Amino acid sequence: MSRSIPMTEEGYRNLQEELKRLVRVERPRVVQDIAEARSHGDLSENAEYDAAKNRQSFIEGRIQELNDKIARAQVINPATLNSDKVVFGASVTLYDVDAEAEVTYQIVGEDEADLKHGKISVTSPVGRALIGHRLEDEVCIKVPSGLRTYEIIAIEFK
């Protein structure tokens, strides 16, 4: 049973671009590398050949994975959403009660998560804990460093 994979339009485009690059650039390059390594003679002791075959295996596996994710993608445009609760795609500004600091995260799909850019996965502990909460709710979240308490001070859809 295949289940849909939520992602933003940007995440969907990134997957498509990676797939295109793998099919049009990386796959032909590795085929050429294998052919060149074969021309060097004995394959049993040919490290270049082994490395190229391993790279080819990785590329083909990634192509299959991307095709599957793209086929099951449920593309969501956060700008079209309107909710008083935290849902997928929302940008949530939190007040960290313990650190006395504000932080903003956008809830995105697994492949889009990038903490340096304020994007957390909907399946991460923080993402799962925030889903369904409303403005001014206090949320206690178990993170690797311990238990953190956040107050939701803004929910935006952009």
| β partners of residue 114 | 119
- For position 2, what pLDDT does the model report? 65
pLDDT tens column, 97-141: 888 899 999 999 999 999 999 999 999 999 999 999 999 999 998
Q: Which residue has the higher pLDDT, 12 or 1?
A: 12
- Residue 124 has phi, psi (to 5 degrees) of -70, 160
Q: What is the Cα–Cα distance from 81 to 58, expressed in whole angstroms?
A: 37
Distance of CA 148 to the CA centre of its chain: 24
82 and 31 within one domain: no
- For position 41, what pLDDT does the model report? 73
Which CATH number covers residue 141? Answer: 3.10.50.30
Which residues does 30 contact at the CB level (< 8 Å), separation at least 6? 52, 55, 56, 59
65 and 35 within one domain: yes
Residue 84 is given by DSSP the state S
56 and 18 within one domain: yes
118 and 62 within one domain: no
pLDDT of 1 strictly over 60? no
* Domain interval for residue 124: 78-156
Q: Which residue has the higher pLDDT, 32 or 145?
A: 32
85 and 136 within one domain: yes
Q: Is 39 left (phi over 0), alpha (psi -120 to 50) or beta?
A: alpha
Domain C-terminal end among 28, 55, 76: 76
The CA-atom distances, in angstroms, between 22 and each of 10, 29, 52, 136 are 18, 10, 15, 45
55 and 88 within one domain: no
pLDDT of 43 strictly over 90? no
34 and 95 within one domain: no
pLDDT tens column, 60-101: 999 999 999 999 999 999 888 888 899 999 999 999 888 889
Q: What is the Cα–Cα distance from 134 to 32, expressed in whole angstroms?
A: 55
152 and 82 within one domain: yes
pLDDT of 44 strictly over 90? no
109 and 54 within one domain: no
Domain count, the chain: 2
pTM of the model: 0.81
84 and 49 within one domain: no
Which residues does 105 contact at the CB level (< 8 Å), separation at least 6? 91, 92, 94, 118, 119, 120, 126, 127, 130
